[in-house]
Amino acid sequence: MFRLRTLRAEFRPTLKLALPLVLAELGWMSMAVVDTMMVGRLPDSAAAIGAVSISSSLFHVLALFGSGLLIGLDTLVSQSFGAGQREDCHRSLLNSIYLALAMTPCLMTPIWFFAPLLTALGAEPRVSALAIPYMKALAMCVLPLLLYFAVRRTMQAMNLVKPVAFALLTANLVNLAGNWLLVYGKWGAPAMGVVGSGWSTAIARSYMAAVLIAYLLWYDRKHRTKLLHTPVEVDLRRIRRLLALGLPAALQITLEMAVFALATALIARLGAVALASHQIALNTVSLTYMVPLGISSAAAVRVGQAIGRKDPAAAADAGGTAIALSAAFMCCASLALLVFPRWIARMYTPNEAVIRGTILLLTAGAAFQLFDGIQSVATGALRGTGDTRTPMLCHFSAYWLIGFPLGAYLCFRRGWGVFGLWTGLSFALILIGCVLLYVWQRTVRRLRAAALR
Q: Mind listing the pLDDT tens digit for each residue in 252-282?
A: 888 887 788 788 878 878 887 888 888 889 8
Decide if 330 contacts 295 (C-beta within 8 A): no
Closest CA to 28 of 64, 66, 80: 64
CA Rg value for the chain: 21
Q: ∠406-120-251 over CA atoms, to 5°?
A: 55
The low-confidence residues of the chain, meaning pLDDT below 70, are 1-8, 121-123, 451-453
Q: ∠241-247-251 over CA atoms, to 5°?
A: 165
The pLDDT score that the predictor gives to residue 121 is 65
Bin 42: left if φ > 0, else alpha if -120 < ψ < 50, else beta.
beta
The terminus-to-terminus CA distance of the chain in angstroms comes to: 24
Domain ranges, ordered by start, for the chain: 2-452
Closest CA to 292 of 208, 362, 380: 380
Task: Indicate yes or no: pTM above 0.85.
Answer: no
SS3 at position 20: helix
In order of 20, 51, 105, the CA distances from 139 in angstroms are: 27, 15, 11
Separation of alpha carbons 368 and 350, rounded Å: 27
The pLDDT score that the predictor gives to residue 3 is 62
Separation of alpha carbons 57 and 68, rounded Å: 16
The pLDDT score that the predictor gives to residue 2 is 45
